[in-house]
């Protein structure tokens, strides 16, 4: 199985690159942000609770997203592999993901990190906010909060995969196709 963690700050291009990767490598895309937004759209209790935090740019509790990923792994037993997008976002989530992989007799193949500076992230998200309808793209303070959450809680996850020899990083600035080519080179070498 090919199990890829696509990593990077808010606006780095994880979702954009995931769309291309699932096509090329026939993987199942698991984005905790997308799953949470679909819970919100369906008006579930989980969605209502998560929305309060997401709209402020704050991470939702680990148990919530770990439970969601566990369910999705169970409901995709025939998959060739997975792209984890926006998960794991804390070291506790990374530890839980390793345990889930072991319970399925598989493992994370590698993490690919997209490196993009804060100014470019702000610009991309504000631009998207003009028509995305995402409340967390709507103003610069919330975008800053998301980047802060990333720096404080998520950036350390890179060390977790470095320690396992599974960390790869690429420049996330450039055309979408150029970046995709670089990611593909890494994936082909795994
Ligand atoms: P989530 O939905 O994961 O959002 P995010 O990580 O903040 O980032 P985005 O999805 O906005 O960015 P992306 O990296 O996917 O970039 P994209 O391809 O869209 O999370 C939202 C919230 O949910 C969190 O704040 C948290 O509250 C909660 N949550 C989710 N997962 C969680 C977890 N595991 N634990 C706890 N809480 C969790 O691209 C961005 C923009 O840039 C687009 O407009 C795109 O067109 C453009 N773009 C892409 N590539 C390029 C390029 N090469 N050049 C120029 N523009 C580009
Ligand atoms: Mg995304």
Tens digit of pLDDT for each residue in 20-56? 999 999 999 999 999 999 999 999 999 999 999 999 9
Do residues 10 and 125 make contact, with C-beta atoms less than 8 angstroms apart?
yes
Do residues 26 and 37 make contact, with C-beta atoms less than 8 angstroms apart?
no
Residue ranges for the chain with pLDDT beneath 50 = none
Task: Calculate how far, in angstroms, residue 105's C-alpha sits from the geometric centre of ligand 2.
Answer: 28
- List, in order, residues 6 or more apart from 170 with CB less than 8 Å away: 112, 113, 114, 115, 179, 182, 183, 186
Check if 134 is active-site: yes
pLDDT at residue 130 in the model = 92
Do residues 27 and 4 make contact, with C-beta atoms less than 8 angstroms apart?
yes
**Which residues, judged by CB distance below 6 Å to any ligand atom, belong to the binding site of ligand 1?**
8, 10-16, 32-33, 36, 53-54, 57-60, 65, 86-87, 89, 93, 124, 128, 136, 146, 174, 176, 179
Task: Calculate how far, in angstroms, residue 85's C-alpha sits from the geometric centre of ligand 1.
Answer: 9
Model pTM above 0.95: yes
Is 174 strand, coil or helix?
coil
Task: Calculate how far, in angstroms, residue 104's C-alpha sits from the geometric centre of ligand 2.
Answer: 26
Report the nearest-CA residue for atom 8 of ligand 1: 10
pLDDT at residue 173 in the model = 98
Do residues 70 and 76 make contact, with C-beta atoms less than 8 angstroms apart?
no
Please identify, by atom number, the ligand 1 atom nearest to the C-alpha of residue 54.
27
């Amino acid at each position: 199985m090919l199990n890829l963690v696509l990593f990077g700050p808010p606006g780095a291009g994880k979702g954009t690159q995931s769309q291309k990767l699932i096509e090329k490598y026939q993987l199942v895309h698991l984005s905790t942000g997308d799953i949470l937004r679909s819970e919100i759209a369906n008006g579930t209790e989980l969605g209502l609770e998560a929305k309060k935090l997401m709209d402020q740019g704050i991470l939702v509790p680990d148990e919530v997203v770990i439970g969601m990923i566990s369910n999705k792994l169970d409901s995709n037993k025939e998959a060739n592999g997975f792209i984890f997008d926006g998960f794991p976002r804390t070291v506790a989530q990374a530890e839980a993901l390793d345990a889930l992989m072991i319970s399925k007799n598989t493992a994370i193949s590698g993490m690919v990190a997209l490196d993009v500076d804060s100014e470019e992230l702000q610009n991309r998200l504000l631009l998207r906010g003009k028509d995305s309808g995402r409340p967390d793209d709507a103003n610069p303070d919330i975008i800053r909060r998301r980047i802060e959450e990333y720096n404080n809680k998520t950036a350390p996850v890179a060390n977790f995969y470095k320690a396992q020899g599974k960390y790869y990083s690429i420049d996330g600035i450039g055309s979408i196709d150029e970046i995709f080519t670089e990611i593909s080179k890494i994936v082909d070498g795994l």
